[in-house]
């Protein structure tokens, strides 16, 4: 069943480097649906403690409007991971994004650190799936905790672990992507596609966004502000999608009121599943409208 959380727009989820104060300020004006203030890959080891303080202050500032603000911590197996989680717990972001989650035990460890740090119930866990172990354990991970609401594909790490090449169409990664997508849908939770590395290749980026949407992903993680607008456009219902959804719902309701057992729209037979999809399309369209208005 769709919930307010699953219908929240997460078309574009932009990583912002936690050590860069100007980037954190710029993020307040970028029309991304969500932000990941990054303490992991984007921060050098000697800058991590200072970046942690800066990111936690930003996440608790209330200065990012209706954007969903999350913090990506360092991994549980690093010297910074536990401190990052406790600091993030006190800051109370929308979520902590945790890299290289491989098991139910990893989720339990993250929860323990958040609870000991006093994290509010509103701070969720976004688990990154980016290793063969995670992919093979995806179903168990997606159902491990109610605090886990979103899964993030770490496609660069998956490709590295598989010794796979980055190629158009991502054929080497499709099995891993599909398996994690199935697990997320089994659990009724959100899943985000991984990043696209070639910032200059706008055509390739849009093709990968379209592929991700067609596969069923809820949105895409991004590494550059220039990727936000095309991602928002591709992952949003189009005007034709919205018009078709309204037509399906109207025709179905009219037929139901008249006691008719068969409904067709534009020559296609309509069933309950089509109506459910149409209602979800309208709900997402309306949620995007509220986000943009805010």
Global confidence as pTM: 0.93
For residues 70 and 102, is the Cβ–Cβ distance under 8 A? Answer: no
Spell out the residues 6+ positions from residue 219 whose beta carbon is closer than 8 angstroms to its own.
9, 10, 11, 12, 13, 33, 34, 192, 193, 231, 235
Question: What does the pLDDT look like over 27-55, one tens digit per residue?
Answer: 999 999 999 999 999 899 999 999 999 99
- H/E segment holding residue 125: strand 124-129
Three-state secondary-structure class, residue 163: coil
Question: What does the pLDDT look like over 259-285, one tens digit per residue?
Answer: 877 788 888 888 889 999 999 999 999
Question: What does the pLDDT look like over 167-214, one tens digit per residue?
Answer: 999 999 999 999 999 999 999 999 999 999 999 999 999 999 999 999
């Amino acid at each position: 069943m769709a919930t307010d959380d699953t219908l929240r727009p997460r078309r574009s989820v932009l990583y912002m480097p936690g050590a860069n104060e100007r980037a954190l300020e710029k993020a307040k004006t970028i029309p991304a649906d969500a932000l990941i203030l990054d303490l992991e890959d984007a921060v050098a080891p000697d800058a991590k403690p200072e970046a942690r303080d800066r990111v936690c202050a930003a996440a608790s500032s209330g200065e990012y409007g209706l954007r969903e603000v999350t913090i990506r911590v360092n991994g549980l197996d690093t010297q910074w991971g536990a401190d990052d989680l406790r600091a993030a717990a006190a800051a109370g972001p929308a979520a902590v994004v945790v890299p290289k989650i491989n098991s139910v035990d990893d989720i339990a460890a993250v929860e323990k650190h958040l609870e000991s740090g006093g994290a509010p119930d509103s701070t969720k866990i976004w688990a990154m799936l980016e290793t063969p172990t995670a992919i093979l354990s995806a179903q168990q991970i997606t159902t491990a905790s109610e605090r886990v609401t979103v899964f993030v594909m770490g496609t660069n790490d998956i490709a590295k672990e598989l010794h796979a090449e980055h190629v158009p169409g991502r054929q080497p990664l499709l099995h891993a992507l599909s398996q994690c997508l199935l697990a997320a849908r089994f659990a009724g939770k959100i899943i985000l596609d991984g990043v696209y590395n070639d910032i200059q290749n706008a055509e390739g980026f849009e093709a990968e966004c379209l592929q991700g949407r067609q596969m069923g992903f809820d949105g895409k993680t991004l590494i550059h502000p220039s990727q936000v607008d095309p991602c928002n456009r591709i992952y949003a219902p189009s005007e034709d999608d919205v018009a078709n959804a309204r037509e399906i719902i109207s025709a179905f309701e009219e037929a139901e009121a008249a006691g008719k057992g068969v409904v067709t729209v534009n020559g296609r037979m309509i069933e309950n599943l089509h109506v459910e999809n149409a209602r979800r399309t309208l709900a997402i369209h309306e949620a995007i409208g509220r986000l943009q208005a805010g």
